[in-house]
Chain A
């Protein structure tokens, strides 16, 4: 059968979310719901329903044919037994119509997209062709019977029956394809109106079932009302507007062919209406008349609307082209296009939008450095002449429209083939990107509407270019971040990870930078077997510049301390070295300690750095060393030498020295209080008996409790050194 042609597409169906009202197997489907997985069942369900419908249609049609032939046979031979059941026909007709229509309803759902002419082609090639087939069949019958000069009611019935099948198939297909088009850009009201139409239409089947004559005067007003309803539905033809000129003309041909199909079917069935030769008359089926009315009306409406909108379609095409170009412009950022590509797009779109006959585009690079990047139907010599004239008038690179160049003497003298000119500068607040010149060979070439569109294009271009720049900048920022990460790693490698472990002292360190790189540092150098130099420092400021100076200071420390000098001498020389390379507003604070365990003492100098916190185990006292000392880089001449002091101190086993940077004592609490020297001192009085590592942890924990946020304002460094009693040499222990 004809609808079998569609069967091959059945299994390609992927639309699982179709409406499933009015279907016989809904009940079964609902019962099986908990058993099968949803998607799989939908698929099975749809495929099953479709094959069920196809089977129902074939069986009902075949039974109908059989019954009609039987009836015809018995009508011819009055004496024979009446085997056929006349009321069965109506039932079979209804089953056939309903199954074909529902089948098409399901199939039509798969049509998607806005290529409407393909809908029409689909309808024509799969269904409307049936009308031509039916007429061919009818003529074949006429010729064969005419040739053989015989009357064959059975053959006539067969032809009539086949044509009935073709008609129903055509109507069902057309009905649901028109539905798809009619409901394009639908609103709620239209959706409801359509649903009611479908319900009303299907309800007319009841008339057929009960064998009412619908042309009866009782039903006549109702059918007139229904006809008006159909006319109302036929006004929904929004899709026609979306056809381009070419597609519209192609659609006109297809619509004409479909219209002819409608005519053929109508004519055929009218001819046989109330024919005495036939025992069945399908023109009595109200449903078919109504649906033919709808299909015919809608096809005619679509045909006429397409025909009359043909001349205006170019306007609509232009607008949708503009819209598409706007989209392309604004999307060029996501597509990672370059500035040059954006200019290409601008040049192309503005020429299309204004229908310019000639154009050129200049990109500006800085001061008066202009480069002509795009040309259309114009040579460099003419451009040069126009530019000279514009320069004389002092109107280059500003918005300028001249819709009648001949009226201007300057332009008239140039004898240009153009009559209208528009200049569109492409510029943002910060930057001039370029200038677009469009020329037309007619007067009043750039009307208000066109200018508005052109301006929208240029402003969109500026926006796009700005956004492109922003995108590039953010990419650059990403790179900086990556490089900063490397800087962090480099700086981390500058901080000593392990101190020499020795039996006479232990050391614990903590350091945390507020930013990726910091200005705090500490380091050590083993001067001789019994002497070690430890330095701590803090560069003013934070971030990269501080990190550079910190690296510099580390270099100075290692360079100078190779010569093993007293701390005060180190400070003097370091100050002199830094004076030459530190910028004016920067300075460094530092403290240098040289510990000699053989002498059980240390010597240190402080250059503006935080006071050293100390616990003396002998006197059980915690105090700060109060010594003078000016920061490095503050006084940049010899007078610095008067500002640095050195101090000797003998330590006892169990003494604790706490060295830190101002990030510790100036750390803030949420209420903006400073941690302070007093609290640090108190912490040491509570913890001096612990190991160096534990003292450090206790202080840092207390500090973190105090600040209670992860947000560091300044770099923090803390070193805890605990002196231990001199151990007996291992070999002494053995003895």
Chain B
């Protein structure tokens, strides 16, 4: 699992590369818990190369969801593979989180 951050103004683009399993979730949790991240208004998560997400990985996003909402930070997933999207949908997360198909859409929604 490789997590890279790309900062553009008030936007962080976080790229997830590989499999988000129990051990890499810990790394992701550390990155999302970083107080620095609260400075930004928009977090865009690029899931193009995210091949697998475990329940632990989902748990990390779920645990931060409320915090970001309270701080009015937008969390947007894009470029998600079908099988990963299916996991989000089965759990009902597609109704709670913003999942769009590509970067342009993500930017548009983020700027609303």
Contact = CB atoms under 8 A, between A and B. Distances in A.
A610 B58 contact: no
Contact of A585 (B56, B87, B90, B92): B56
Interface stretch (A181-189, A406-414, A625-633): A625-633
Contact of B92 (A634, A636, A676): A634
A674 B83 contact: yes
Interface in B54-112: 55-56, 58-60, 62-63, 65-66, 83, 87, 90-93, 95-96
Contacts of A630: 91-93, 95-96
Contacts of A541: 22, 55-56, 59
Contact of A611 (B25, B29, B90, B93): B90
Nearest to B65: A634
B90 to A, nearest CB: 6
A540 B56 contact: yes
Nearest to A639: B96
A611 B92 CA distance: 11
A584 B63 contact: yes
Contacts of A674: 83
B100 to A, nearest CB: 19
Contacts of A609: 90
Contacts of A608: 90-93
A716 interface: no
B77 to A, nearest CB: 15
Interface string A517-545: 00000000000000000000010111000
Contacts of A542: 22
Contacts of A610: 90
B62 A643 contact: no
A589 B29 CA distance: 21
A611 B91 CA distance: 10
Contact of A634 (B56, B83, B90, B93): B93
A635 B62 CA distance: 8
A628 B91 contact: no
A635 B96 contact: yes
Nearest to A637: B66
Contacts of B83: 674, 676
A587 B95 contact: no
Nearest to B58: A540
Point out which of A608, A634, A636 has the most chain B C-beta atoms below 10 A from its C-beta.
A634
A586 B59 CA distance: 6
A634 B60 contact: no
Interface in A624-657: 628-631, 634-636, 643
Nearest to A630: B92
A373 B62 CA distance: 55
Contacts of B93: 608, 630-631, 634
A628 B55 CA distance: 18
Given A542-B22, A635-B96, A674-B83, A585 B59 contact: yes
Nearest to A589: B91
B59 A628 contact: no
Interface string B25-42: 100010000000000000
Contacts of B22: 541-542
A634 B62 contact: yes
Contacts of A587: 55, 58-59, 62, 91
A240 B66 CA distance: 84
A636 B90 CA distance: 18
* Residue in B22, B62, B92, B93 with the greatest tally of chain A CB atoms within 10 Å: B92
Nearest to B51: A672
Interface of B: 22, 25, 29, 55-56, 58-60, 62-63, 65-66, 83, 87, 90-93, 95-96
17 contacts: A538-B55, A540-B56, A584-B59, A585-B59, A585-B62, A587-B58, A589-B91, A609-B90, A611-B90, A628-B92, A628-B95, A629-B92, A631-B91, A634-B93, A634-B96, A636-B66, A662-B90
Given A542-B22, A585-B59, 9 more contacts: A541-B56, A584-B63, A585-B25, A587-B91, A609-B90, A628-B92, A628-B95, A631-B91, A674-B83
